[in-house]
Structure 1
Amino acid sequence: MPQAMARWMLALALLVGGLLGPGVAHAQRTEGDRAVAQGAYAAEVVVRNQTDGERDKALARALAQVLVNVTGDRDVLQRGGVREELAKAKDYLDGFDYRQDEGVAATGAPSFQTMLVARFKQPEVDDLVAMLGLPSWPQPRPKPVLWLAIDDGSGPRLVALAQVNAAGAILGQAKARGFALGLPAGNAAEQAAVGAIWRGDRAAIAALSGRYSPPMQLIGKLRRSPGGWTADWTFVDNGKVLSSWQTSNADARRAMAAGADGTADALFKRYARAGSGGTPGVYRVRILGIQGSDDYLRLAGYLDDLPIVRRMMPVAATPDGMELSLELASGIASFGKYVGRGGVLEAVTESADAGQPTTFRLTGG
C-alpha cells in the first residue's frame, strides 16, 4: 500500500474512533436477528431501563421522530396538536422490541446501551398527519449522492463506499430525517475529484455523478478548525443549487451530521406538500343539540381541551343551537377530523359556504 494511502487509512480509523463520541473507543453492532428501525414509520430511541414508565416516555420520543420522518419538517413538534398526540403514542403503536448495543469504553470496560425500537401503524400515523393538517413529504424519496472530502490536517481525501464507517454520523442523521444518502464507489477518477470538491467545482462533481441516480449531489468538505471541526455544504438538485450552509462543532460527528439536516430541509422545502387541514385562523361554527347549561359546559370543557383550539368565544344563541367563533391552530377541515373521533361532536355539514358557519351537532353525554 502506498505510504500516502496508508496514512489516509490510519487517519480515517482515528476519525471514526472520534466520531463514536467521547469515552467510546469501539462499538460493534451485528444486524442478524437484532431489532432495527426500518422505514419512515419506525424509530429507535435510547432508554434507561425496560419499565412501563420509561417505555411510555420513549414511545412519545419515537413517535415524534416518526412524524419528523413522515412530514420532513424538523419543526413539526411546534405545530398545533402534535405534542398532545405524542402522549397517546401507544394508540399508534404497531409493536416494539428492545436491543442491547455493546461497546468498549475508553477504560477498556464493556459499555452497554439499551434501545427501544418502535414500529407505528402507517394508516393511523397518516390519518394523524391529515387530521392535524401537517405537511407531507411523499414517498419514495430521492437518494442524493454524498461527495464528502475530509481533511484532518494531512490533506483532503474522499469518503467512498470503502470508508462508509467514517460517514456514519451523516448517514445515520439522514435516516433519522426520513431519507438516505449514497456514497460514490470510489474509483480512481472519483478519488481524483477530491480537488474539485475542495474548490467547489460543482460541474465536475455533477459530471462524475452522471452514473448515479437521481441527479442530486450533497457536496461537503470537513476540516479541522480552531475549537473543533468546520464543514461547508452545497446541495445541488439537477444542476441547481438548492442550499449552501456551513456547520461548526467541537465534535466532528455533529459537524458532519448537520449536512443531513440541511439536505432534508432543502428537500422538504422543494418537494413537501402542504397539509390539507386548511389555514390557521378564526372560524365560525354552529353547534346544534345544546339543550341547557349542562350541555354548554360540556361543550366548552371539550373545546378547551382540544389542542388545535386556541380560543373560543360565543357569538349568538338561537332556539336550535349556538354559534361560536373559534381560533384554530389549523383549518376547519382539521377541526372536523379531530372532533369526528372524539364522540362529542359530529359534523352536519362537511364544509361551509362562503360566510356561513360550519355546522356540528353535540352528541349525547
Structure 2
Amino acid sequence: MVGLNRLATPSLSRAMARLLLCAALLVASMSAFAQRVEGDRAGAEGVYSAEITVNGQGAGERNAAFARGLAQVLGKLSGDSGAASQPGVRQELRRAAEYVDSYDYRQDEGVSASGAPSFRTALVVRYDEEAVDSLAATLGVAVWPQPRPKPVLWLAIDDGSGPRLVGLSRADAARSVLDRAIERGYRLGLPGGSAAEQAVVGAIWRGDTAAVARASRNYSPPMQLIGKLYRAEGGWQADWIFVDGGRVLSRWSESGRDARRVLATGANGAADALTKRYAKRAPAGPAGSYRVAFTGLDSSDDYMRLSGYLQGLSVVRGMTPLRASEGGVEFELDLVSGLPGFDRSIRGDSLLSAEGGDDTQPPRYRLR
C-alpha cells in the first residue's frame, strides 16, 4: 500500500498542476474576454477609418461622404464630437477627397418595419494617417494618443422588475452605449457577469465606486464607467459616474423617452472625461492677428497669386493689407493657430519659403 501511494503521488501532483494551470488560464481568459465586447458592428475599424451611409455611388454623393467621414475621423482622433466645427476645419472638409487613402462600398441587407427586404449601401473610407495628423496639428485640433484604454462598463438596468447587471451574455442591451464609444474613438468592455459580479448591482445602484472598483480588479485598465438606467417620468433616466484609477473624474445624469439614446450618453460623458485628461494639442501659437511680410513680388500677378493662396489656407481666417513696398507687401493675418500653425500649413508647398524675422520685424516669407 505504501508503495502504491508513492507511485500515485507524482501522478496526482501532475494532475493538480494541470488543474491549477487551467484555472489560471481560465481567469486570464475571462479577464481578456470581458474586454472583447462585440463592437465590430459599429462600422469601420480604426481611428483613421469611417463608414458613411450613401444613397448611391456617384461622384457627388461620394465626395459629400468623404467630408462626413473626415469629420468622423477628426472626432475619433481628438475624442471631441465637435472637432469638425473648430475654426478652419470646415474649409478642409471641402477638400476631404485629398485626405483619402482608399475606399470601397459595402451593401447590407435587412428587413424594414413592414417586413419587406431593405438594403443599405455604405462607403467605407480609410484616410491618410500622416495627412490627417498634419491637419490636426496645423489647426490646433487636440489628439488623444493611442493605444487608448478600454474602461469596463458596469451597467445596471431596472425596467420595473428590479435592477440587473448587464454582462457579456446581455451585451445587446448595452449596444447603443458600446457603439457610441466606438464612434467617439475608444471601446468599452463588459464584465463577464458571474454570480459574484451580479452581486455588484447594489453597489452600482447606490454609487459605491470603491466597491465597483474592487469588483473590477481582474480587468484592465483600472477605469470604470458606472451607470444605472431606470424608468422615470414617463421615460428613462441614466445616472453615470466615470472613475479612473479610483478617482472620480465625472458625474452626470441624462433622461429621455428613448432608452437607447439615454444609454448612449454614458459613452459621451466618459469620452469627454478621458479627452479632457489625456488629449493634447500640438505646440501652436494662440489664435489672433499677426503682422506678416512677404517679399519676391514683382508684379500685380504675383500679388494676386499670393492673395489667392493665403485665402485658400484653412489656418487663415482673414487678411488685411497693411503696407506695400518695392517687391513686397505686409498683411495682417487672422490665424487659427498662430504662426506655428501657419508655418505647418505652408510646409512642403512650393509657393512660399520662410526668410526669418526678429522681435522688431514681422516674420518674412518669400514668394517663389
TM-score range, shorter chain: 0.7 to 0.9
Alignment correspondent of 1:206: 213
1:362 to 358, 364, 367: 367
Q: Do the aligned partners of 1:284 and 1:356 also contact (CA within 8 Å) in 2?
A: no
2:313 to 302, 306, 318: 306
Given the two structures, how large is their TM-score scaled by the length of structure 1?
Answer: 0.85
Instruction: Please show how residues 224-263 of structure 1 align to structure 2 within 5 Å.
Output: 224-263=231-270
Q: Distance in 2 between matches of 1:291 and 1:106?
A: 68
Alignment correspondent of 1:166: 173
1:65 to 68, 72, 87: 72
Q: Do the aligned partners of 1:80 and 1:330 also contact (CA within 8 Å) in 2?
A: no
Alignment correspondent of 2:358: 353
Q: Do the aligned partners of 1:317 and 1:323 also contact (CA within 8 Å) in 2?
A: yes
Given the two structures, how large is their TM-score scaled by the length of structure 2?
Answer: 0.84
Q: Distance in 1 between matches of 2:203 and 2:232?
A: 21
Q: 1:276 is paired with a residue of what secondary structure?
A: coil
Question: What is the CA distance between 1:141 and its match in structure 2?
Answer: 0.7
Flag structure 2 segments of 5+ consecutive residues without an equivalent. 1-37
Q: 2:216 is paired with a residue of what secondary structure?
A: helix
Per mean C-alpha deviation after superposition, the further-off stretch among 61-70 and 221-230 is 221-230
Per mean C-alpha deviation after superposition, the further-off stretch among 332-341 and 312-321 is 312-321
The 4+ residue runs of structure 1 with deviation greater than 4 A are: none
2:301 to 282, 294, 302: 294
Q: Distance in 1 between matches of 2:349 and 2:234?
A: 53
Q: Distance in 2 between matches of 1:221 and 1:91?
A: 44
Equivalent residue letter for 2:284: G
Alignment correspondent of 2:14: none
Alignment correspondent of 1:135: 142
Alignment correspondent of 2:24: none
Per mean C-alpha deviation after superposition, the further-off stretch among 233-242 and 107-116 is 107-116
Question: What is the CA distance between 1:223 and its match in structure 2?
Answer: 1.4
Q: Do the aligned partners of 1:134 and 1:276 also contact (CA within 8 Å) in 2?
A: no
Question: What is the CA distance between 1:219 and its match in structure 2?
Answer: 0.4
Equivalent residue letter for 1:107: S
Per mean C-alpha deviation after superposition, the further-off stretch among 291-300 and 69-78 is 291-300
Question: What is the CA distance between 1:327 and its match in structure 2?
Answer: 1.4
Q: Do the aligned partners of 1:161 and 1:183 also contact (CA within 8 Å) in 2?
A: yes
Instruction: Please show how residues 48-197 of structure 1 align to structure 2 within 5 Å.
Output: 48-197=55-204
Structure 1 or 2, whichever has the larger Rg, is 2
Alignment correspondent of 2:15: none
List per-residue Cα deviations over 1:44-101 (Å, max 9, x = no partner). 1111122221111111111110011111222211222211111222211121122222
The reply on whether 1:269 has 2:276 as its aligned counterpart is yes
Report the RMSD for the aligned CA atoms in angstroms.
2.1
Flag structure 1 segments of 5+ consecutive residues without an equivalent. 1-28
Q: Distance in 1 between matches of 2:261 and 2:149?
A: 23
Q: Distance in 2 between matches of 1:192 and 1:101?
A: 40
Q: Do the aligned partners of 1:35 and 1:98 also contact (CA within 8 Å) in 2?
A: no
Q: Distance in 2 between matches of 1:248 and 1:103?
A: 30
Question: What is the CA distance between 1:317 and its match in structure 2?
Answer: 3.4
Question: What is the CA distance between 1:36 and its match in structure 2?
Answer: 5.0
Equivalent residue letter for 1:119: R
